[in-house]
Each structure stands twice: as C-alpha cells, then as structure tokens.
Amino acid sequence: MRLIILDLDQTILDTLHRFYETFNEVIVLCGGKRVSWERFFEVFCRDELDSLKPDNCSKTEFWREFRRRYSGWLHERDQPIKGVFETLEWLRRHGFKIVVTTGREADKEMIWWELREFDLDKYIDDVYTLKEQDPEHEDILFSRTGLLKMVIDKYGAEPESTLFVGDYWVDMKSGRDAGLITIGVLTGCKGESLLKRYGADYVIKDISHLPKLLEKIL
C-alpha cells in the first residue's frame, strides 16, 4: 500500500484570505486592532505573526481560538491550489491512499464539508484534524506528530515509506519526528531553507510538481 498524507491549508487549498480574516477576528476578540492585509502578509511570510498578537492574550490561547474559528465558513477568495486536481488524479491512478490532515481544531465533518464544496472529497480516503490528537503530543503549537502516527497506525503503513506534504516548518518537523518522508511546498510563503532546516527531505514549488518528484524518488 502507498500512503500519502496531505496538509490542507496553503497545500491543497488556498485559504490565506480566510486566515487573515480569522486572525483579525481573534485580535479584536483579545482587545486589539485589525491589521492591514499588507502588514499581515509581510509578517506572515516572515513567520512572525506572534508579534501582532495583543500582549494580554497568551500565545497558546490566541492560536487555539484561531484554529477553532478557521473552519465552518468559506471566504470568497478560497480556492484549490493550482494543479491540485491533476495531482490527486495522478495519485489515485498510481494506487495511493490519500489522507488529509489539518492543524485546525475542528470536527472532521467540517473538513469533509469543505472538501465537498471544492469537489475534492472524491479523491480523499480519510481526514484527521488536530482536535483528535492527544494535547500532550503537541510539544510545540500546531505539531501533528501524534496525528501522523495515528494515521500510520490505522493504515498499517511503514513510516519510512509514507509521504507527508505540507507548507509550514512545523509540518516538516512533525513529519520528521514521525519518521516520514517529508515534502515541503512553497505555497505557504515559507522559504526552502527554512523548510529543509526543520526536516523537509524535498521542497517543491507547489502541489502540481508532486507527481514529477515522486516519479524520481519512488
């Protein structure tokens, strides 16, 4: 069996404008003021969003509230990442089981609803969210090492032959810590050097380049 685990946001779905609105919503909830898109995007790409968080709200409280609010609605600019349909079809033809995981703290059905809205659900075998992971396994915020191990155990897969694709450095660290082959994509505005520093075995421009990479390494 071939198993591939895909991150959701900024990996197969472009939801960055929803991220921006949700981020501002939590800032206001904590008593702060909205930030502009330009300021947000600049800081997001530098991975320094914590610097915009109001001081009276702890980092953990802020991001847990954020990831609970991220699901259950769609932004008008949400869309599949370019090439995702072709890539998922390629993976299907080559016998992969495809599992989507997300750092959102949401019920599975919310993610399935979203995948259906974008006609992606027909390619996906299973969905896992951070809500299912034991909180003790989250050694750093958004770590999914425990979640990845849950997926591997369910499917009886070998970690060293399982692929994990994500856009964030914490994704790469999670995959490395779980013993997986980790592939970083640049659609999350994080640089190749950062992704490799935290465990990416390979880095590609976006999900559309995945089939060509897999033809080389598998």
Domain check: are 25 and 120 in the same one? no
Q: What are phi and psi of 56, to 5 degrees?
A: -80, -5
Domain containing 42: what range?
A: 16-69
Give per-residue pLDDT as tens, 22-47: 999 999 999 999 999 999 999 999 99
CATH, residue 128: 3.40.50.1000
Domain check: are 25 and 104 in the same one? no
Measured distance CA(89)–CA(187) in Å, rounded: 20
Q: Which residue, 31, 52, 69, sits at the end of a domain?
A: 69
Give per-residue pLDDT as tens, 102-160: 999 999 999 999 999 999 999 999 999 999 999 999 999 999 999 999 999 999 999 99
Domain check: are 155 and 177 in the same one? yes
State the residue for tokens 């369910």. Answer: 154
Domain check: are 212 and 110 in the same one? yes
Strands 13-14 and 79-80, bridge-based pairing: antiparallel
Measured distance CA(24)–CA(165) in Å, rounded: 27
Q: Is the CB of residue 175 less than 8 Å from the CB of residue 51? A: no
- Does the pTM exceed 0.95? yes
Give per-residue pLDDT as tens, 184-205: 999 999 999 999 999 999 999 9
| Residue 74 reports pLDDT greater than 80 | yes
Domain count, the chain: 2
Domain check: are 177 and 87 in the same one? yes
